[in-house]
Structure 1
Amino acid sequence: MTEVATPRDVAAARRPLARRAAALSAGLALVGTLLVVVSGAVGSVEVTPVQAAQVVVGHLVPGMPWMSDGSLTPLQDQAVWQFRIPRVLLAGLAGAGLALAGALMQVTVRNPLAEPYILGVSSGASVGAVLVIVLGSAAVGGLSLNVAAFAGALVACGCVAALARKNGALSPTRMILSGVALGSLFSAITSYLTISTDAQNVVSVLFFLLGSVSAATMPNLLGPAIALGVSCAVAAGLARSLNALMTGDESAASLGVDATRLRAVLLVVASLLTGTVVSVAGGIGFVGLVVPHVARICVGADHRRTLPVTVLGGAVFLMAADLLARTVAAPTEIPLGILTAIVGAPFFLWLMRRDGADRAGLGR
């Protein structure tokens, strides 16, 4: 006689994964904090990790005694607070945003190999930014580079949504095909703009397209922080609906989930995250593909567990990548897009070879 699992049995089976997710989230948060301190200490101006921590805490809590004991020079304070801390925080926000966008896109199209750039959103953002670099802000109505990149992402999102509709609903297959086609079109436009400008602009365009957080400032953090906060709140509220959508549109409908409306919301949220990140950090790939997979392997496919691990994992991944980009070939800095591909591709292939890697598939 076949035994039927009771709700109590299911809950008991989920408890170890829930505890693992909580422990992993706490560990990732600790690693992220350590990376902020270590990144604040690395650079041409000599600063110890303890001094970097003093600078950070001293600015967050003015009046602390160690800020006035004479052990830190103004140059050290400026190097840590104005240059190193903004870039590591921007790397964390960008990594978290891209990872979350990847997780949402993989559910939207029900394809575990999907990621933010597959829908052409990144390519659309790149067109807007490159227009400003090559032709000036007047060519896009006086918009700044960041705003033009975000506008390009929204245009790409709108085009994908319009082309992916079939019988009044968003078709996952059409979304992928439309995204690939539009991505190729936007990339062609970017390439033409690049080869038609002078050498100085070509360097700027390539550096932007390959991704970097070297020019980060504290004001740059506001946009990604707001976008990430709003997106995390929306995703957390939709976690159960995401689980239902993974089982298929008919199953989701039987559970009271409007698949078409949910896909539209997820598309907007993922585009918001991707466009915001690209506008301040350029084109950084692979984060949205690798990190959600690793999170599902570690804590299962339930988005109530997966999403927090994905967000924190993306932040840690890109913060570590930025630290390597600054140090591995110093004084030359490696663009983040190159490093994430070099590090991420072999790591991802290794994960896929593991016995437990099959659990990374959606809905398993």
Structure 2
Amino acid sequence: LAVLLQICTKLGLEDHPRFYTMMHSVASEVPKWPGQPTKPLVDTLNHLMLPLVCQYRSDGDGQGLSDLKERLLRAVVEYLAQSGVGPSELDTYCQINLCVIELHIRLERPLLWCALSQRARDFLAVVSQLRVNNQYDALPTMSSQQHLVVSRELTDLGVSHTLEVALQQPYLIDVVVANSRKLLEIDGPRHFINGTGRPTVTTELKHRLLTRLGYDDDRSYFDTIDLPCLQRMHCIRPEMARKQFLFLIKKAKLHEALMAEQSFYNFKEIEKIAKKLEPIDPFWARSSLRCGIVPQSVKEVVQHLVDGDRLVSMEKVGSQN
């Protein structure tokens, strides 16, 4: 049932009458939980995190479901706190989920936070201080490369910033602007549902909690970073804005060349396009089109083609090939 609840939350089906019934059934099993959390039970709790936290409504038609979620949240936290199992003994995913639960309860359910036992609050406080960023070790290489591309552009524009900051457990922030509460998230395909423009529930949750913490969380899909957005965020000097806009025009033309339907790619020539092209087309000069961030090397272009066409295994592609 916990897995079904998680799927329903991801698909936006929490309004379905059976969702409440399934969650009520899970809540009725709480008294039967063993004294010590077993691996299957911890897996169940991990699946429950999304439905308990992601779609939060505190009034209106969702009040009954919200109350049920609150009771189950309290039961889960109190159970783990009273079990005697140390936070460091839990698996990484459970630690991450508990960090999110701690933020959710503290920021969005203050009455529940006050109702928790002191032992439960202490338990969550310890969890929130653990280093639980292990999942970021396996982030897609493409994502980190895009962060570097955006970082170079911000540096050219005179914007002081830091990349990949562990600002608030368990979240790693893509770009933090110095001396401000401004954050920039560069969201790749995994942050959206089936390649659409609709963000996943976990992405929406991260944005919501960071906003509750008082941060100005601007989000951009990494293929649609545009200069006007950066200008609005950072009050960029006009002369630097003009220079950067020309740079983005060249990158957009390169992106267009790479995306064109063709059976043969002259990679060396493609690499040179960004250096050779000049923004002489009046349409480009007037356009506020969101310009794509594109791969920066032949190796990356080849890798994208291999990944898309499944020509060879990924490990076959390297700088020596």
Q: TM-score range by the shorter chain?
A: under 0.3
Query: Please, what TM-score do these two structures have when normalized by structure 1?
Result: 0.25
Could you say which structure has the greater relative contact order, defined with CA pairs below 8 angstroms and 6 or more residues apart?
1
Higher strand proportion (structure 1 or 2): 2
| Structure whose alpha-carbon radius of gyration is higher | 2
Instruction: Report the TM-score when normalising by structure 2.
Output: 0.27
